[in-house]
């Protein structure tokens, strides 16, 4: 078959590899001049930064693409497991190393916070239990096919719903398991992995720590952008043809079937079409005359991000690849996000790839990817907000690190919800599509196929199973399984 793919984001590339490995003729159309979407890079002066996602988990989904393609991954994509998942900092001088080894992490928590090690182990065991019951089923299968729901494993999982904390908030679950507010805050932050609010998101999301502490947190050699580059090269090797700087104007349909893609200059016929574009813009821009899934498109959006790419003219030995500087009032921070505002004391995340990839910064310097969670774009005065927030972030980091950070910044670039939307077509600049604060959110995401238009499929962070690299890769897997 001839298959046309809209968008060269990570899900689009993964779909291309899967389809080409089945012997199909695949063409990918990308409006930007580069592949990867959010999973791209920024180069500034003598510094290199990963533009978007900065944490690599579930590497088996990348490895699986090489296996499907029948190509050895050796020498093409390499990564290492991080011994420390993240360093955590609080204003009262508390500092905590989240060791990847569960027992070492539990000992660290006992030493720094006085929490009995078994509390941490019990919480992580609960996370693992929930993942083993639900993960393979609800993340790797379509929720919109009858065959999924007639599976015995699914029926077994449904019987265990009362024990999965689907009707309890993530914060409530963490308070139940953990005995210290700082530790609760640490585990609550996992809700932000899909742009959610831990005080509203269902407790089932407490499966997320399992990804880091059981499976592991990893660092790709060459940085996160090497994921894009390795898969892009693999796709080309399998015969996939990429068209960059090529915007799709419309998905052409006839008799209820998707049959062609319209570019600026031509209509190109395909047997099947896969859309890696944000599902909201896909309907509004590419299918304006088709009936839209209004209820799905109106769902609340996830949070966005404000990112400062800073070249720092100094090295900080107390920092690692991943670092979190917590707000003193986490609940108030999320209340502000819900109200469409940025908290004056935001939680700050800093990713420093030069810790393991020294060429990302000049000698004796570091590349700081400095990010906070912000609301999606609802018409806020972003220029004013960015200027104010920049000062708040610098003041916070300077206090905790006891150094005037502003004097160390050699160069700077900024990414905000407006530019996230313009560069990646993510509706309103949301990072993860639909918000997961509702307990039924997972079931309300757009399916990986169109129920009204035959031969049209969807992948990427705005559809099932959600945003983030692992889930985007899984969306491509689901498409390959449901395509008729």
Q: How confident is the model at residue 440 (pLDDT cuts 50, 70, 90)?
A: low
- The model's confidence at residue 443, banded by pLDDT at 50, 70 and 90, is low
C-alpha 284/C-alpha 271 separation (Å) is 22
Q: What is the mean pLDDT of residues 372-384?
A: 97
Tell me the two tokens of residue 275: 């859309």
Residue 135 confidence (pLDDT) above 90: no
Token output for 405: 């950070």
Residue 292, C-beta contacts closer than 8 angstroms, at least 6 positions apart: 283, 284
For the chain, how many residues are written? 484
Predicted confidence (pLDDT) per residue in 144-181, tens digit: 777 776 677 777 777 777 788 888 999 999 999 998 99
Partners of 97 in beta bridges: 87
pLDDT tens string 386-425 = 999 999 999 999 999 999 999 999 999 999 999 999 999 9
- Alpha-carbon distance of 346 to 301, in angstroms, equals 20
> Which of 164, 173, 160 lies closest to 200, judged by CA?
173
- DSSP class per residue in 376-412: --SS--HHHHHHHHHHHHHHHHHHHHTS-GGGGEEEE
Residue 197: predicted pLDDT: 95
Distance CA 430, CA 305 (A): 8
Instruction: Give the list of residues 6+ apart from residue 462 with CB closer than 8 angstroms, or none.
Output: 278, 279, 280, 426, 427, 433, 434, 445, 446
Give the whole-angstrom CA distance, residue 336 versus residue 402. 27
Three-state helix/strand/coil letters over 208-248: HHHHHHHHCEEEECCCCHHHHHHHHHHHHHCCCEEECCCCC
In 3-state terms, what secondary structure has residue 39? coil
Q: How many other C-beta atoms are found inside a 10 Å radius of the C-beta of residue 125?
A: 15
Q: How far apart are CA 211 and CA 220, in angstroms?
A: 16
Q: What is the pLDDT of residue 163?
A: 80
For position 132, what pLDDT does the model report? 87
Q: What is the mean pLDDT of residues 28-56?
A: 96
Q: Which two tokens stand for residue 289?
A: 């005359």
Share of the chain above pLDDT 90, in %: 86
pLDDT of residue 147: 73
Strands 267-269 and 304-312: unpaired
Give, in degrees to the nearest 5, the angle at Cα 54 between 49 and 55: 155
Task: Judge whether 330 and 185 are in contact, CB under 8 Å.
Answer: yes
Q: Which two tokens stand for residue 461?
A: 């962070």
Using CA atoms, how far apart are residues 377 and 427, in angstroms rounded to an integer? 9
> Which comes out higher in pLDDT, residue 302 or 134?
302
pLDDT for residue 433: 86
Q: Which residue has tokens 């700082």?
A: 182
Distance CA 59, CA 80 (A): 10
Residue 352 DSSP label: -
Q: What is the pLDDT of residue 93?
A: 97
Which helix (H) or strand (E) segment holds residue 343: the answer is none
Looking at every residue in the chain, the average pLDDT score rounds to: 94
Res. 297 pLDDT band, cuts 50 70 90? confident
Question: Three-state secondary structure along 76-110?
Answer: CCCEEECCEEEEEECCCCCEEEEECCHHHHHHHHH
- Mode of pairing for the β-strands spanning 79-81 and 84-89: unpaired
Q: What is the tens place of the pLDDT at every residue in 310-364?
A: 999 999 999 999 999 999 999 999 999 999 999 999 999 999 999 999 999 999 9
CA distance 3 to 25: 6
What's the rounded mean pLDDT across residues 205-218? 93
Where is pLDDT greater, at 293 or 439? 293
Token pair, residue 368, equals 């700081």
Characterize the bridge pairing of strands 272-275 and 2-6.
parallel
The answer to whether 223 and 357 are in contact (CB under 8 A) is: yes
3-state secondary structure of 371: strand
Please give the pLDDT value at position 442: 59
Contact 105, 98 (CB under 8 A): yes
For the ranges 60-74, 154-168, 230-244, the lowest mean pLDDT is seen at: 154-168
Q: What is the dihedral of CA 434, 436, 440, 442, to 10 degrees?
A: 70
Sketch the domain layout of the chain as residue ranges: 103-209
Residue 141 has a pLDDT of 79
Closest CA relative to residue 398, chosen from 411, 388, 387, 407: 407
CA 43 to CA 413: how far, in whole Å? 9
pLDDT band at 133 (very low <50, low <70, confident <90, very high): confident
């Amino acid at each position: 078959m001839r298959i046309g793919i809209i968008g060269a984001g990570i899900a689009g590339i993964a779909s291309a590899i899967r389809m080409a490995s089945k012997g199909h003729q695949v063409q990918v159309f990308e409006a930007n001049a580069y592949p990867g979407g959010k999973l791209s890079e920024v180069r500034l002066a003598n510094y290199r930064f990963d533009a978007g996602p900065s944490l690599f988990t579930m590497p088996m989904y990348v490895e699986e693409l090489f296996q499907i393609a029948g190509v050895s991954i050796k020498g093409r994509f390499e990564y290492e497991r991080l011994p420390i998942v993240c360093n955590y900092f609080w204003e009262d001088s508390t500092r905590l190393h989240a060791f990847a080894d569960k027992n070492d992490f539990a000992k660290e928590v006992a030493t720094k916070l006085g929490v009995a090690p078994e509390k941490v182990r019990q919480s992580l065991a609960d996370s693992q239990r929930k993942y083993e019951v639900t993960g393979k089923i609800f993340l790797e299968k379509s929720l919109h096919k009858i065959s999924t729901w007639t599976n015995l494993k699914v029926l077994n999982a449904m019987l265990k719903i009362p024990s999965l904390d689907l009707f309890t908030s993530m914060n409530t679950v963490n308070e139940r398991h953990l005995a210290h507010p700082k530790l609760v805050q640490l585990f609550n932050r996992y809700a932000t992995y899909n742009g959610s609010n831990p005080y509203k998101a269902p407790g089932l999301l407490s499966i997320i720590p399992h990804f880091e502490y059981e499976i592991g947190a990893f660092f790709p050699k060459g940085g996160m952008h090497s994921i894009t580059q390795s898969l892009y090269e693999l796709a080309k090797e399998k015969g996939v043809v990429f068209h960059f700087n090529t915007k799709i104007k419309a998905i052409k349909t006839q008799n209820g079937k998707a049959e062609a893609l319209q570019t600026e200059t031509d209509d190109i016929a395909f047997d099947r079409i896969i859309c890696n574009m944000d599902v909201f813009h896909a309907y509004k821009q590419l299918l304006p005359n088709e009936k839209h899934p209004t209820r799905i498109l109106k769902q609340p959006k996830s949070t966005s991000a404000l990112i400062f790419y800073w070249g720092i003219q100094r090295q900080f030995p107390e920092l690692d690849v991943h670092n979190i500087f917590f707000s003193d009032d986490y609940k108030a921070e999320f209340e502000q996000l819900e109200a469409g505002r940025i908290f004056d004391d935001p939680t700050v995340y800093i990713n420093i790839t030069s810790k393991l990839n020294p060429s990302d910064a000049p000698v004796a310097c570091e590349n700081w990817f400095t990010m906070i969670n912000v609301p999606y774009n609802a018409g806020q005065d972003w220029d004013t907000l960015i200027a104010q927030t920049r000062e708040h972030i610098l003041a916070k980091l300077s206090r905790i690190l006891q150094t005037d950070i502003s004097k160390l910044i050699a160069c700077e670039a900024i990414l905000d919800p407006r530019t996230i939307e313009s560069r990646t077509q993510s509706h309103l600049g949301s990072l993860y599509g639909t918000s997961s604060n509702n307990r039924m959110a997972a079931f309300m995401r757009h399916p990986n196929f169109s129920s009204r238009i035959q031969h049209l499929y969807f992948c990427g962070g705005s559809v099932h199973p959600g945003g983030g690299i692992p889930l985007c890769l899984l969306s491509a897997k689901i498409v390959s399984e449901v395509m008729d």
